[in-house]
Chains A and B, each alone.
Chain A
C-alpha cells in the first residue's frame, strides 16, 4: 500500500450540458487494494467509471494511472496501459461462442494485435490460456454456446472473465452482482476475490454485504461529491454517511 497510487483522481468534474454530474471528485486508489464506491442512485458512480476508463472525456481535473495522465486517452489506450473494466449492463459478444469471447479478450495482451496472418486454431498457448480461464470461470461446459444464450449469472461471470483476461493490473467492476440471487452473489464474490488476487480492484456495488465483505476501502459518492472515504469500519461509523445514505438501509 505504499508509493504511487494505482489510480489518482484530482478534482475531476463532468458536465452533461449544463448539468453537473461529477462535482470535483478526488480519490486515491492504492495499488493492490480493493476499493468500493457506494452511493445512492444518480450519485454518478457509473459516470465516474466511464470517465476513468475513457468512455467519456472529463470536463476538468485529472486522472492518473500509476502516475500517468490518462484522461485524454481513448479507451483502448487506457486498456493497454493495464486498466480493464466491466459494465453494469452485460457487455459481451452475443453471437460469438463463450470460448471465442474469452479468446478475443486475451488477444491483445498476447501480442496478436491486428494480425491477419496467424490462424487462431493453431495458437496453442493462446488456446490453452483460454481453456484455463474457461475452467476457472466454471464455463467449460458452455464452450461452444453463443454467449447471448448463457443464463444471466453465467453472462456476468463471463463478463468478469473477459475483464480480467487481458491481465490488467487495475480492474474496474461496475455492479458485478446486480440482479443476482443470494447463492449466485456468493459465487460471484468468491470468483471476484479469486481472479483479482494481487490486483487493484475498484468496484461500484449496491449490495452492502458484498461491499463490507470485499472492500479494504470504501468511498461514498453523493450527488457527484465524495462525502467520505476510508476503511469499512470508519464508513460504518460516519455520521454524514449514515444520514445521507446508509441510515435508511441499516434500519
Chain B
C-alpha cells in the first residue's frame, strides 16, 4: 500500500517536472507561459486544499477561514521579499516559503486558540467570524495589507541557494514544485503520527479520546496550527509568483475554494484534495477562457458531488476497488455507457441554457455573436432555446431511469451501496 502510494507520488512529481517541456515552444525558444502559470497555480492550490483537509477530512473540523492563513502567509512574504530586496533580511528565495509558513503558523496559534475551544457548528461559526475579521482588517490596515490595492514586491532579491534569479516563470515554477512536494510529503507523514491519528479519533468520537487521556481541544488546536503552517507556505508561493497580494487572498471565496477542492476531490483519501485542486484549477483556467459562466458550472458540480457522491472523486475510485479486484469491472462498462448518453444530453442542455441566458445579459450588449459547440447561434430565434430545454428535460428524466439500472448492476457486482448512494 505504501509502496504504491510512493510510486504514484513520484510519478506525479516527474510529471510536474516534465510537463512544461511538453508544451515548450521549441520553434521560438519560448516556454509555454499559460501552461506554466496554470501549473504554478495548481501547486499552490494543492497545498491549500491538502492543508484544509487536515481540518475537514482528518479532524472533522469544518473551517471557513482557511484562506486567512494562506493570504496572511502571502502578505507576510511580500514584506519579507521587500526587506530582503533592501538587504535587511538575509534569507534566500528558496527559504521564503518557510518564513511564510511560520507566519501562517503564528496567526493560526492566535486564532486557533479561539476557534478550537469549540467543535462542530460552533467551530465553523467562529472561523466564519475570523475570516470576515481578517478580510475586513485587510481593507482597513494599510501598513501591512495595503488596502484595496494590496501590497507588491519585486521577487528578484538576488539571494538564492542555487544562484537563480527567479526572473522567469519557469524558475518560480520549479520552486513551487519543490515546495509543493515537500509540503505534501510532510502532510502525508503527519497523518501517520500520534497527533494525526488522534485527530481522526477525535473526529470519529471525541469523548472516547478524552477517556483515553487525550484532551480533544489540544488535538484540535495543534492540528489547526499545523494546517495554518502549510496554508502559509502556499500563500508564500502565491506572493512569490504574482509579486502582489491583495484582499482576494484572505477573502471568503478562496476559503470556499479550499472547501470545494477538498470536497470534490474527496476528503476521506489523502490524495483527494490534490485531485480536487488539479480539477478546479483546470476548470478555472480552461473553462473560464471559454465561458463567463464557469463559476456556475463549478457550483453545480459541487452540488452534484455532495448529493450523489459525498466521498468525492477519490471516493468513487476507491469504491470501484473491490469490483476491480473481483474482476467484474467489465460488467460496469455497459451501464456506464448507458449513463453517458443521457448524461451528455442533460449537460449539453444545461450548458446551452446557461450560455444562452448569460449571452442575453452580457454578450448581446457587447454586440457579439454567440458561438456554442463550434457553431454560431441566433439567440433571438426560438429553436436554440427549445433544443436546450428539450435536451435538459429529456436527458434528466432518461438519466434517472439509467441511474436506477446502474444501481441494480452496481449492487449485483458487489458494489458498496453506501458509497454509491
Contact = CB atoms under 8 A, between A and B. Distances in A.
A233 interface: no
A244 B208 CA distance: 34
B213 A108 contact: yes
Interface string A136-180: 000000000000000000000000001001100000000000000
A195 interface: no
Contacts of B209: 104
A107 B194 contact: yes
Interface in A112-151: 112-121
A91 B211 CA distance: 10
Interface string B183-202: 00000011011111110110
A187 interface: no
A118 B193 contact: yes
Interface in A68-100: 74-76, 79-80, 84-85, 87, 91-96, 100
Contact of A108 (B192, B193, B212, B222): B212
A118 to B, nearest CB: 6
B190 A116 contact: yes
Contacts, number: 97
A37 interface: no
A217 interface: no
A105 B214 CA distance: 10
A47 interface: no
B204 interface: yes
A66 B219 CA distance: 29
Given A91-B207, A91-B208, A104-B212, A96 B200 contact: yes
B200 A76 contact: no
A79 B213 CA distance: 5
Contact of A93 (B194, B208, B222): B208
A74 B210 contact: yes
B210 A94 contact: no
Given A74-B210, A114-B222, A166-B212, A100 B197 contact: yes
Nearest to A103: B197
Given A79-B211, A92-B205, A119 B195 contact: no
Given A92-B205, A96-B204, A119-B189, A112 B194 contact: yes
For B192, B194, B197, B209, the residue with the greatest tally of chain A CB atoms inside 10 Å of its CB is B194
A112 B222 CA distance: 14
Contacts of A107: 194, 197-198, 212-214
A189 to B, nearest CB: 23
A75 B198 contact: no
Interface size range on B against A: 20 to 34
B213 A94 contact: no
A53 B211 contact: yes
Contact of A115 (B195, B201, B204, B218): B195
B226 interface: yes
B215 interface: yes
A109 interface: yes
Nearest to A109: B213
A93 B200 contact: yes
B213 A166 contact: yes
Contacts of A96: 197, 200-201, 204
B200 A95 contact: yes
Contacts of B201: 93, 96, 104
A198 to B, nearest CB: 21
Nearest to B200: A96
Interface in A173-200: none
A94 B211 contact: no
A115 B214 CA distance: 12
Contact of A105 (B212, B215, B218): B212
A79 B208 CA distance: 11
Given A93-B204, A96-B200, A84 B193 contact: no
A214 B15 CA distance: 64
Contacts of A117: 193
17 contacts: A76-B210, A76-B213, A84-B212, A94-B204, A103-B197, A104-B201, A104-B209, A105-B212, A107-B213, A112-B194, A114-B194, A114-B198, A114-B218, A114-B219, A115-B195, A120-B193, A162-B208
Interface of A: 53, 55, 74-76, 79-80, 84-85, 87, 91-96, 100, 103-105, 107-109, 112-121, 162, 165-166
